[in-house]
A and B are shown apart, each in its own frame.
Chain A
Amino acid sequence: MPDYKAPLRDIKFVMSELLNSDSHYANLEGAEDATPDMIDAIIQEGAKFAEQVLSPLNQSGDREGCTWSESGVKTPAGFKEAYSKFVEGGWPSLAADPSHGGQGLPSSLGIVMSEMNGTANWSWGMYPGLSHGAINTLEEHGTEEQKQTYLTKMISGEWTGTMCLTEAHCGSDLGTLRTKAEPNMDGSYSITGTKIFISAGEHDLTDNIVHIVLARLPGAPEGTKGISLFVVPKCLPAQDGSAGERNALSCGSIEHKMGIHANATCLMNFDGAKGWLIGAENKGLNAMFTFMNVARIGTAIQGLGAAELGLQGSVAYAKDRLAMRALSGAKNPDSYADPIIVHPDVRRMLLTQKAIAEGARALIYMTAQKADIVQSGKTEEERKAADELLGFLTPIAKAFLTEIGYESASLGMQVFGGHGYVSEWGMEQNVRDARIGMIYEGTTGIQALDLLGRKVLMTQGESLKGFTKLVHTFCKENTDNEQMKPFVEPLAAINKEWGELTMKLGVSAMKNREEIGAASVDYLMYSGYAVFAYLWAQMAKVAQDKLAQGSTEELFYNAKLQTARFYFTRMLPRTKAHAVTMLAGADTLLDMPEEAFII
């Protein structure tokens, strides 16, 4: 396993040079503490934790996995100690609400921490990661009493949280779920049913786990409009607030799976467990949607992490491994062969990984800034605009980044050749761990339907325009910049084509609703490459400006420029195929007789 090194230079580049984090934080309500020095110090400390505490547990955690017994789930060696250090360091409360013990720093800073922790050890990062969703739900929709009881403990990290949605027969389609909630005399509810695929549903890191459970009340309407949300703790809170009597819920088994072995994927049985309603009856799904964006950015980070870890591993190997000579003549004549980094095809792989990892970082941080503004922007207008952009960018970030993050992880393995396939080097673990990103938190297909159906077409294209306007402005600002031409011209072209394609899809979807699902994944991938083109053009601009100002970091900025060039010439052309296929129509898909699939 490559030792993870937090890419601090690139983090700084994206935060402050590309996204002007100084002025961004200065403009947020209540983010006074987020001064540049403070942020630097926090990130440095976070990097140490990820590198020194979490990274060394990544491979051993995969080998050992979690162990289930009647009495609970045991996490791999070292996980518990690492978690205690995490809590002692005050990391869980970093970006949480000060009224319940949080430190109130902007959530985008928490995203940087999640990136570093998640890249160092995704399985471990999921334990605190899952708490975020639960915390957000309670913050947004919980009663004051619920907040008092649970939030403080969860924000401090003393307790963790989960989201219990999926059941054996329903994943994407939550409308059909069967878990029941029956009212008790004391205002609480009795929850009965079985949930599957519950990440971090049971473990030994904390003495209590707070489950947020989707269930149906007696007589609730069928479908998605009859779902309510409940808080169901593993241990009922005692008078003094500590974890008290055990609630009637238990982990029935854990899954054997392809990757993320060190994170327990639990089957949870609720046998008349005591729970309390969160928010209004039958509005559970709406309540979930309020924080869905945040949770999905959390999953998008997995794509970034997989890309970064794969890149770190393969670059080191490509510089070290000797095989064959460069076609243009020996580069390392003193040894029996050249390092494989001299070969164009190895470079193609490394540059693809680099373009993905660094582009992903830019996209996630940009999206995280929008989330900051939604939370703490100074004006209603600002918040609303940011919310629209956030809604538009979220499905792209989640699906596109987990898809191409997986590509980077897989390329990382390919650079290692046969050594990539054996466990020792850790590259295959990275691939196995990354694979789930495209599935959970809404599959790529579901994200694509969300983007094209709910976000773009339902707003008559307005949400797309919110973004393409930014691109347009950038292009206009740089039309006279000769050096930027190789970036601005194709960017302007893609921006225009993006709108045109959307129009065409809008027209065909009015005639036939099936057209949305027929085009959606191609549309999403196209959009991802278009967003990346915008980000890479901007990064090229920053690099050019720095070089023109005589920066001493020539190596760093040159690499940015070259990677941008690679992205524009070798990766952006992928949009061509997506542009054609998204317009191919639903007929090709739906005409196929069902029997013909089955033969």
Chain B
Amino acid sequence: MADYQAPLREMRFVLNEVFDAPALWASLPKVAENVDPDTADAILEEAGKITSGVLAPLNREGDEQGCKWTAEGVTSPEGFKEAYQTIVDGGWNALGGNPEQGGMGMPKTLVSQFEEMLQGANMAFGLAPMLTAGACLALDAHGSNELKETYLPKMYSGVWSGAMDLTEPHAGTDLGIIRTKAEPNDDGSFAVTGTKIFITWGEHDMAENIVHLVLAKLPGAPKGPKGISMFLVPKFLVKDDGSLGDRNPVTCGSIEKKMGIKGSATCVMNYDAARGWLVGEENKGLNAMFTMMNYERLGVGVQGLGAAEASLQSAREYAKDRIQSRAPSGAQQPEKAADPILVHPDVRRMLLTMKGYVEGGRAFSTYVAQWLDIAKYADDSEQERRIHAEGMVSLLTPVAKAFLTDRGLDVCIIGQQVLGGHGFIREWGQEQLVRDCRITQIYEGTNGIQALDLMGRKVVGSQGKLYELFAQDVAAFIEENSDEQSLRPYLELLAAALERLSDVTEHVINQASETPDAVGAASVDYLDLFGLTALAYMWARMVKAAAAKAEGDTSGFYTGKLKTARFYYDRLLPKTVSLAEGIRSGSDSMMALTAEEF
């Protein structure tokens, strides 16, 4: 296994050269007061050191050891506790947090680079800060001032961690049917009772306290999603002076044995009239969850990207070192027993596919992060800019989550394939990446659910208006760059891809008005089609940024970008043709079979 190295050169390219993030930050006063290019660069550099130097070395051993459950609690793998302390000491948990409560207020465009490193270095560990950040977001947006002041500073510092408790044994995708109850106490708090499953880092020994955000139903609450409220339930109750008091009756009943992310604890959490406090309004719990969903979902997409980057690093090192057979066109390294496998066209196809998706994916996640930043930080005077960005976020979030994790897993599987038999053996780490990455397609809304969100709620739901925002952005790029020499070979193909996507979009919107199943029948293929087209756009933007610097470039960095772009357009983008055809065939072939016939 190659040692994970944070891909800082790639990140700087995307941030500075492709998207000119410093200009974006400067245009947002609330961001500009916290970050400038030098600070950002220093953060990247430091993040690279911590993730590569502290977290990555614990990754494989964490997988081997896993977490251990006893009635007293959960023990994390060796070294995790110390590493967590390093994260706390460095203030990394606070990176994107609200400065009023001790956060650093860094923009998502920057934070998501850190998240990629965190997840690429050690996904099982990375889930702990990730979930804490998610809980902080929800609390910051919806908690009362008292709750915020009591909990947020400790959570930003990481002294306390956070967990999100949604799923129950019978209710995952369909949260409307949850059964956990919250009954009012006399003092304004609530007694929460029920069982939650699949709670990531719901219990552990790394932080002093664990703050659960729990979905539950109040007495007499309406049925379905409109009767769900959110509660803050700490593991230890907090005294008035902020110190820790009694143990709250919220306990971990067991942890799951699972395919991957074994270094993290996936907990069954039992609430036996545990004390909790309402976050936000009664029965609006699901809405409160949704505010942090966009961030979380991009974060999960970035997990897929991080794993994919780690797999790519390992595969290309192997392809360079492993000697096996001769190049078809004649020996390339005649002094050795065989040529490195990097000479073989099919090995290159695999590596270039990985590069095409990883580097395109990084550009895409940064692109989405950019809209998140504008939506969150645009001044009140710039309402139109903000609304536009909110529309983009809403449209692109499901794509970022599902497309980046789907391709992330594909990339890890290809990375495993490059190593042949060694890819199947634990020692080399590739199979762990596949096992770890596999969960990202499932949690935080399965990718099927993301696709329904995109196709149904966003695209059809807005009658194509949200889609138009994206289409116009791409069309404007094509228009603006029609004279750009370097982009000649790409713009026509990009325009054709956009047209294909637009046609299919219109087709499904029309179908949906006639048959309700049209959305679900098209959704997954549509999301794929959307993602592939969006990455084509990203690659065009990268070509634009790289072309001028490619001349006389001896490092291979910029020429590599141009060649990978060409590969992407020649070999990956054509999948859109197949997808469009499948979608056009409609839902009949899916719905005709009775349940028994299966």
Contact of B591 among A347, A349, A439 (CB under 8 A): A347
Kindly state the separation between the CA atoms of A575 and B579 in the bound complex, as whole angstroms: 10
Contact A337 B177, beta carbon cutoff 8 Å? yes
Most buried by A among B325, B413, B587, B596: B325
Q: Verify B324–A173 contact, CB threshold 8 A.
A: yes
B328 touches A435 (CB 8 A): no
B-binding segment of A338-346, A375-383, A475-483:
A338-346
The B34-55 residues at the A interface (CB cut-off 8 A) are none
- In the assembled complex, the CB of A413 is this many whole angstroms from the nearest CB of chain B, namely 8
Q: Which residues of A contact B593 (CB under 8 A)?
A: 347, 351, 558-559, 562-563
Annotate B393-428 by CB proximity to A: 1 below 8 A, 0 otherwise: 000000000000000000001001100110111110
B556 lies within 8 A of A521 (CB): no
Question: Is residue A258 contacting chain B, with contact meaning CB distance below 8 A?
Answer: yes
Contact with A along B293-324 (1 / 0, CB 8 A): 00000000000000000000000110110011
Given A257-B425, A423-B259, A327 and B520 touching (CB < 8 A)? Answer: yes
Binary CB contact string for chain B from 351 to 379 against chain A (1 if under 8 A, 0 otherwise): 11001000000000000000000000000
**Contact of A336 with B423 at beta-carbon distance under 8 Å, contacts A345-B524, A348-B590, A443-B417 already known:** no
Complex Cα gap A573–B579 (Å): 7
Is B71 positioned at the interface, with any CB of A under 8 Å from its CB?
A: no
A449 — nearest CB in chain B belongs to which residue?
B346
- The answer to whether A516 has its CB under 8 Å from any CB of chain B is yes
Contact A341:B578 (CB < 8 A) given known A327-B517, A599-B9: no
Residues of A385-409 at the interface with B, using a CB-CB cut-off of 8 Å, are: none
B571-591 contacts to A (CB < 8 Å): 571, 574-579, 581-582, 585-591
- Report yes or no: A445 in contact with B347, Cβ–Cβ below 8 A: yes
CB of A569 within 8 A of chain B?
yes
Contact A590 B517, beta carbon cutoff 8 Å: no
* Docked pose: A595 CA to B560 CA in angstroms: 8
Assess whether A597 is in contact with B574, with CB atoms less than 8 Å apart: no
The reply to whether B442 and A323 form a contact with Cβ atoms under 8 Å apart is no
What is the bound-complex CA distance between A322 and B349, given in angstroms?
42
8 Å CB contacts to B: which residues of A411-430? 413-414, 417-418, 420-424, 428
**CB of B381 within 8 Å of the partner chain:** no
Stretch at the interface among B141-149, B274-282, B443-451: B443-451
B585 touches A518 (CB 8 A): no
Chain A positions 316-374 with a Cβ under 8 Å from a chain B Cβ: 318-319, 322-324, 327-328, 336-337, 339, 341, 343-351, 354
Report the interface size class on chain B.
35 or more
- Chain B, 239-295, CB within 8 A of any chain A CB: 256-260, 266
Determine whether the beta carbon of A588 is less than 8 Å from that of B566. Answer: yes
Given contact pairs A176-B338, A344-B517, A344-B587, A323 touches B420 in the complex (Cβ within 8 A): no
Given known A257-B425, A513-B329, contact A565–B589 (CB-CB < 8 A): yes
Q: Are A257 and B442 in contact, with the CB atoms below 8 A? A: no
Pair B172/A417 contact, Cβ less than 8 Å: yes
Q: Which residue of A lies closest to B427 (CB)?
A: A256
Distance from B387 Cβ to chain A, minimum over Cβ atoms (Å): 29
A591 touches B598 (CB 8 A): no
Could you tell me the distance in whole angstroms from the C-beta of A536 to the nearest C-beta in chain B? 12
B68 in the interface, Cβ–Cβ < 8 Å? no
> Which of A517, A520, A555, A588 is within 8 Å of B571, CB to CB?
A588
Give CA–CA (A574, B337) in the complex, Å: 39
Chain A residues contacting B348 (CB-CB under 8 Å) are 589-590, 592, 597
A354 and B319 CA atoms in complex are apart in Å by 36
CA distance A516 to B555 in the complex (A): 30
0/1 interface trace, chain A 423-461, chain B, CB 8 Å (1 if under): 110001001100110111001110011000000000000
User: A17 on the interface (CB 8 Å rule)?
Assistant: no
Quote the shortest CB–CB distance from B392 to chain A (angstroms): 25
Say yes or no: is B557 at the interface (Cβ < 8 Å to chain A): yes
Check A513/B174 contact, CB under 8 A, given A421-B438, A584-B571: no
Set of chain A residues within 8 Å of B578, measured between Cβ atoms? 573-577
Asked whether, in the complex, the Cβ of B352 is within 8 Å of the Cβ of A323, the reply is no
Interface contact A421-B439, CB-CB below 8 Å: yes
Selected interface stretch from A30-38, A93-101, A164-172: A164-172
Q: When the two chains form their complex, are residues A593 and B559 in contact, meaning their CB atoms are under 8 A apart? A: yes
Does B228 belong to the interface (CB within 8 Å)?
no
A254 to chain B, nearest CB (A): 11
Q: Are B173's CB and A173's CB within 8 A?
A: no
Answer whether residue A510 sits at the interface, using C-beta atoms and an 8 A cutoff.
no
B257 surroundings in chain A (CB, below 8 A): 422-424
* Number of A-B pairs, beta carbon distance below 8 Å: 289
Contact check, B346 vs A420: say whether CB atoms are below 8 A apart: no
Q: Does B385 contact A (CB under 8 A)?
A: no
Residue of B nearest to A596 (CB): B560
Contact B438 A431 (CB under 8 A): yes
A410 CA to B405 CA in the complex, in Å? 14
Q: Are B438 and A422 in contact (CB under 8 A)?
A: no
- In the assembly, what is the distance between CA of A586 and CA of B345, in Å? 7
Closest residue of chain B to A419, judged by CB?
B172
CB of A430, distance to nearest CB on chain B (Å): 11
Q: A421 to B582, Cβ gap below 8 A? A: no
A171 near B421: Cβ-Cβ < 8 Å: yes
**Contacting residue for B170 out of A315, A322, A414, CB 8 A:** A322
Is A257 within 8 A of B424, CB to CB? Answer: yes
Please indicate the chain B residues that have their CB under 8 angstroms from the CB of A449 in the complex.
346
Q: Which residues of B contact A513 (CB under 8 A)?
A: 328-329
Q: Across the interface, which residues of A come within 8 angstroms of B328, CB to CB?
A: 513-514, 516-517
For the complex, give the distance between the alpha carbons of A577 and B573 in Å: 8
- Shortest CB distance B262–A (Å): 10
User: Is the beta-carbon distance between A570 and B427 smaller than 8 angstroms?
Assistant: no
B67 on interface, CB distance cutoff 8 Å: no
Nearest A residue (CB) for B587: A344
Task: Tell me the minimal C-beta distance from B226 to chain A in angstroms.
Answer: 15
Closest Cβ of chain A: how far from B316's Cβ, in Å? 5
* A577 near B258: Cβ-Cβ < 8 Å: no
Inter-chain contacts of B425 with A (CB < 8 A): 255-258
A344:B324 contact, CB within 8 angstroms: no
Q: Is the CB of B431 within 8 A of A435?
A: yes
User: B560–A597 contact, CB under 8 A?
Assistant: yes
A431/B324 in contact, CB under 8 A: no
Bound CA–CA A591/B345 (angstroms): 10
Shortest Cβ gap from A498 to chain B (Å): 16
With A and B bound together, what is the CA distance between A596 and B266 in angstroms? Answer: 40
Which residues in B have their C-beta under 8 angstroms from that of A173? 324-325, 338
Question: B310 → chain A, closest Cβ, in Å?
Answer: 15
With contacts A257-B425, A565-B589 known, is A595 near B324, CB below 8 A? no
Q: CB-CB < 8 A to A590: which residues of B?
A: 345, 348
Chain B contacts with A in 556-574, Cβ cutoff 8 A: 556-557, 559-560, 563-564, 566-567, 570-571, 574
B434 at the interface (CB under 8 A from A): yes
Could you tell me the distance between the alpha carbons of A417 and B320 in the complex, rounded to whole angstroms?
A: 38
Q: Are B442 and A420 in contact (CB under 8 A)?
A: yes
With CB as the reference atom, state the residue of chain A lying closest to B326.
Answer: A173
Interface residue? B26 (CB, 8 A): no
> Which residues in A have their C-beta under 8 angstroms from that of B342?
594, 597
**Interfacial chain A residues near B536, Cβ < 8 Å:** none
Contact B582 A570 (CB under 8 A): yes
For residue B594, CB closer than 8 A to chain A, the reply is yes
Which of B256, B345, B566, B589 is in CB contact (< 8 Å) with A514?
B345
| Seed contacts A422-B257, A565-B588; 5 additional CB < 8 Å A-B pairs | A315-B598, A348-B521, A573-B578, A580-B577, A592-B567
**A residues whose Cβ falls under 8 Å from a Cβ of B:** 166, 169-173, 175-176, 196-197, 255-259, 315, 318-319, 322-324, 327-328, 336-337, 339, 341, 343-351, 354, 410, 413-414, 417-418, 420-424, 428, 431-432, 435-436, 438-440, 443-445, 448-449, 512-518, 520-521, 555-556, 558-559, 562-563, 565-566, 569-571, 573-577, 580-581, 584-586, 588-599
Name 24 A/B residue pairs within 8 A (Cβ), A-sorted. A169-B337, A175-B325, A258-B434, A322-B170, A324-B173, A327-B517, A344-B521, A346-B448, A348-B590, A354-B598, A414-B442, A414-B446, A428-B258, A514-B329, A517-B346, A562-B597, A565-B592, A569-B582, A570-B590, A573-B578, A588-B571, A595-B556, A596-B559, A597-B348
